[in-house]
Amino acid sequence: MPKPLVAGNWKMNGTKSSVAEFKAIELGVEPSLLEKVDIMICPPATLLSNMNEHAEYIQLGAQDCHHNESGAHTGDLSAAMLVDGGAGAIIVGHSERRADHNENNDLIMAKADASHNVGAIAIICVGETRNERDSGKAIDIVLSQVKNSTPDNANGKNTILAYEPVWAIGTGLVPTIEDVQAMHFAIRKYLVNRFGDEGINIRILYGGSVKPSNAKELMAIENVNGALVGGASLKADDFLAIAKTYI
């Protein structure tokens, strides 16, 4: 069983004053908690190096990168720049990127490769829309996203998958326990088929409206190796309460 990870995705939220919230999370993380669970915050890139100065227990991640190493890409950030700022992981393929920026699986795989090339963990997000869930095709669609956005060199050290049903993100809605279990089981089975024993080591996070009140139940599901938390990661108390479900 891989060590669980609770990662906070701050999305496009936070300015310098928000570093106080990050420090509050740091203060609340005791070494005994870290024996049970890894804890990560993925702030906007502008805050990475500032937070890196205060990050003792918390790992830092970034949100998205360009797939090229460098060059004429105004407004984009390379994986190397994010690592330089303190990120040890990069979220790629988030549904907000897939939807808002028309990102497809090929591009997401290239971004995962770019992350690996600079030694960063790729956190690859997958998930179905409400219509896809209602049509009964959720598992097929998610497995095809996993297949086509996960590089061949993926292993437990360089890759994390995050199953985030699009309709559960920021809505307060969550799938049933049975549906989460079935999806994570299907992803695990696919990973083991493709990567052999290494497929067991790749963490599969659940994301989508995780909050203190539902975290314990969700994190207890087989093959759920932690959470990717959006809204509730912006408040130190809520985020810590989610992480502490592992105590």
Taking the complex as a whole, how short is the minimal distance between the CB of residue 70 and ligand PGA, in angstroms?
28
**Annotated catalytic residue: which of 21, 128, 132, 164?**
164
**Number of residues that this document lists for the chain:** 247
101 noted as active-site residue: no
Q: Which is nearer to ligand PGA, 42 or 82 (CB)?
A: 42
Residue nearest to ligand PGA (CB): 230
Taking the complex as a whole, how short is the minimal distance between the CB of residue 95 and ligand PGA, in angstroms?
7
Q: Which is nearer to ligand PGA, 29 or 229 (CB)?
A: 229
Taking the complex as a whole, how short is the minimal distance between the CB of residue 23 and ligand PGA, in angstroms?
22
Taking the complex as a whole, how short is the minimal distance between the CB of residue 25 and ligand PGA, in angstroms?
16
Binding residues (CB under 6 A) for ligand PGA: these are 9, 164, 169-170, 207-210, 228-232
**Annotated catalytic residue: which of 66, 67, 94, 116?**
94
73 noted as active-site residue: no
Q: Which is nearer to ligand PGA, 9 or 159 (CB)?
A: 9
- Catalytic residue IDs: 94, 164
